[in-house]
Structure 1
Amino acid sequence: MQNLLFIGLGLLLLILGGNWLLKSAVALALRLRIPKIIIGMTIVSFATSAPELIVSVNAAIEGFPDLALGNVIGSNIANLGLVLGIVLLLGPIDVRKAFYITDWPVMMFASILFFLFIYFDGILSAFEGGIMVAALFLFLVYLLRFQQPAVVEEHQEVIKPLPLYKAVLYLGMGGVGLWAGSEFLISGAIGLAKLYQVSERIIGITIVSVGTSIPELAASVIAILKKEKAISVGNLIGSNIFNILAVLGITSLITPIKVIDRGLLTNDIFWMLGFAFLILPLVFFPKGRRLEWRDGIILLVGYAAFLYLTLS
């Protein structure tokens, strides 16, 4: 009971902390007059990936590498299979060529790079983490200089940024909430794994990853309901890129990550690659440059199959 309480409290603090950080980040970005698609691909993605970052860094430092890896791999699967699936049930999304020229290829590049770094030796070293962080920096430079909107906006709404003092206050509250939430979540997750004698990988790939994906789900659903589809899709693609290049890159720079449960390499990472690849054909079939409810059902069924086969 105590473990479930810790997990629940940890997730609540992570959600609140991520939301406060998101408000602060978007407010500061709007003050700098950064375009919405860039906000979605960078600011919102980083803010909603903050729970994964804090949880993975803490888990790796405290000696639970499978929890750190399972959290990120599971979050990337949940972002596309669960979150995007739900978003598409709420409404179709039209995409432009920047999606398959830049956004999707970078996500696939990051996923394959991570696969090549960790699959053969089971270790993500500080050197490899440095390469991933450098790749993220180059991607951000490209976005800020050259990226055009990848999603068709239905309308442009003028948003007034928060007062500066509120943005700074939310920033501080978000940081504290994320740190405290990660401590509670890791403590509860490890306790639950020991109690039911399951691996840290299983807890990380399911409970922890879905929990840390809740900010992406909340941000995307709110964005789609407000017709801000650029932020919705950009957030999910960008979040997966950030999860790999930033979360795992920064974590491995702090402490190398070594795989303990080989299921991460023989099962989970291939599901992550499969979902990342699947998005491209779904964009073009049956209708070109469009994602709709049928695609959402395919993604949700795929995610359900992943959970069933992983847990069985």
Structure 2
Amino acid sequence: MLDTIPPIALAAIAILIGFGGLVWSADRFVAGSAAIAKSFGVAPLVIGLTIVSFGTSAPEVMVSISASLKDAGDLAIGNALGSNIANIGLVLGATLLIAAIPVQKHIFRHELPVLLLVTVISGALLYGGVLSPWEGWLLLALLPVLMFYLVRAKQKELSPAEIDQEQEDIPEMPRPRAILWFAIGLIALMISSEILVWGAKTTAEYFSVSPLIIGLTVIAVGTSLPELAASVMSALKGHHDIALGNIIGSNIFNLLAVMAVPGIISPPIMEAAVFNRDYMTMLAITLIITAAIAIVLLRKNSKGTTQLGKGTGFVLLGCYVAYYAYLFYTN
């Protein structure tokens, strides 16, 4: 029966099933992981800043591993860079059109400098056109170091009420059930990523485009769906203050973990456009949001506001649309 279905139709079905499976399994994986950590006495703040904040990047990690094992490292690189562009341009831009987002000082003091540092380091590694195993291990080694710094920094910044809020965000469940959901989520993540990567590679071959382009577009947007859904729902519920920190945390994780995987497993040889077009776009949109946050904090002295608003949202969405229009026009 499957022989009668065109390959591109099967690929489209696989992509839809893969995306749906990734969104559901990432939610179960994060809930189980956080509950297990809580049952072993891990501090809620640590859980919130690591497992919960970076859990929405679980789809990107699994897709990166699956693609690298299939010698499609360029798809994995495209996934990492494209997801970061989508997180700021699409996710944050769309969220700002729904509700203004308060800017907390610790974001500018700690999270943003770490993101800028990681962005510069990743650019230096991508500049040569090859991401070697030692460069992949370097990125991965930076992850626990920078996470330790962010946890310690946030411990000093947060009030007792904010720390209590972190604890309320962690699900309560018995340890056996948490372990079960962790296992189910992990297995479903692996299966969903395999299905998605197969569909993406088949689509790339059918349309005669490189896996890099599929990674930058279809895969990047699809794996950013958890961030988009979480941010928009938070804004609609009035909890929009968490959106900015989650997006910055996700982008840090994408560069240190998602991009490290292909370098470690199957070092890709990248075309010049990866740095000249895609990395530079990611850098530019990261600098735009950094400048917007700096301006908002400086204006507080005269106008008493520390919120990013619709103007910033339109700029970010405009940059996102312009990048993708250029991408499709040139390919």
- Is the TM value for this pair above 0.5? yes
Do structure 1's residue 147 and structure 2's residue 154 form an aligned pair? yes
Shift in alpha-carbon separation, 1:230–1:131, aligned structure 2, 3 A = farther
Q: 2:213 aligns with which of 199, 202, 205?
A: 202
Do structure 1's residue 269 and structure 2's residue 259 form an aligned pair? no
Q: 1:166 aligns with which of 153, 164, 177?
A: 177
- TM-superposed deviation, 1:35: 4.4
* Contact in 1 for aligned 2:26/2:55 (Cα 8 Å): yes
- TM-superposed deviation, 1:5: 0.6
What does the per-residue CA deviation read over 1:25-71, in whole Å, with 9 as the maximum and x for residues that have no partner? 343455546345x5454222321111111111211221112101111
Distance in 1 between residues matched to 2:32 and 2:314, nearest whole Å:
34
Q: 2:57 aligns with which of 39, 49, 53?
A: 49
* Root mean square deviation, CA, Å: 2.4
- TM-superposed deviation, 1:150: 7.9
Where does residue 5 of structure 2 map in the other structure? none
Q: 1:34 aligns with which of 43, 47, 72?
A: 43
Distance in 2 between residues matched to 1:30 and 1:217, nearest whole Å:
26
Deviates more, 1:131-140 or 1:234-243: 131-140
Distance in 2 between residues matched to 1:220 and 1:28, nearest whole Å:
25
* Contact in 2 for aligned 1:41/1:231 (Cα 8 Å): no
Larger Rg: 2
Do structure 1's residue 223 and structure 2's residue 219 form an aligned pair? no
Do structure 1's residue 311 and structure 2's residue 323 form an aligned pair? no
Where does residue 198 of structure 2 map in the other structure? 187
Distance in 1 between residues matched to 2:318 and 2:210, nearest whole Å:
25
What does the per-residue CA deviation read over 1:103-124, in whole Å, with 9 as the maximum and x for residues that have no partner? 01111111110110121x2111
Q: 2:322 is matched by which residue type in structure 1?
A: A
Do structure 1's residue 281 and structure 2's residue 291 form an aligned pair? yes
Distance in 2 between residues matched to 1:15 and 1:111, nearest whole Å:
26
* Contact in 2 for aligned 1:48/1:216 (Cα 8 Å): yes
Give the structure-1-normalised TM-score: 0.90
- TM-superposed deviation, 1:165: 2.6
Q: Secondary structure at the match of 1:63?
A: coil
Q: 2:274 is matched by which residue type in structure 1?
A: L
Distance in 1 between residues matched to 2:245 and 2:32, nearest whole Å:
18
Q: 2:244 is matched by which residue type in structure 1?
A: V
Where does residue 68 of structure 2 map in the other structure? 60
* Contact in 2 for aligned 1:40/1:231 (Cα 8 Å): no
Q: 2:143 aligns with which of 136, 140, 147?
A: 136
Where does residue 312 of structure 2 map in the other structure? 295
Where does residue 97 of structure 1 map in the other structure? 105
For structure 2, the residue ranges without an aligned partner over 5 or more in a row are 1-8, 301-305
Distance in 1 between residues matched to 2:51 and 2:241, nearest whole Å:
13
Give the structure-2-normalised TM-score: 0.85
* Contact in 1 for aligned 2:100/2:307 (Cα 8 Å): yes
Where does residue 6 of structure 2 map in the other structure? none
Distance in 2 between residues matched to 1:176 and 1:40, nearest whole Å:
23
Q: 1:144 is matched by which residue type in structure 2?
A: V
Distance in 2 between residues matched to 1:225 and 1:26, nearest whole Å:
25
Q: 2:91 aligns with which of 60, 83, 96?
A: 83
For structure 1, the residue ranges without an aligned partner over 5 or more in a row are none
Where does residue 126 of structure 1 map in the other structure? 133
Distance in 1 between residues matched to 2:248 and 2:43, nearest whole Å:
18
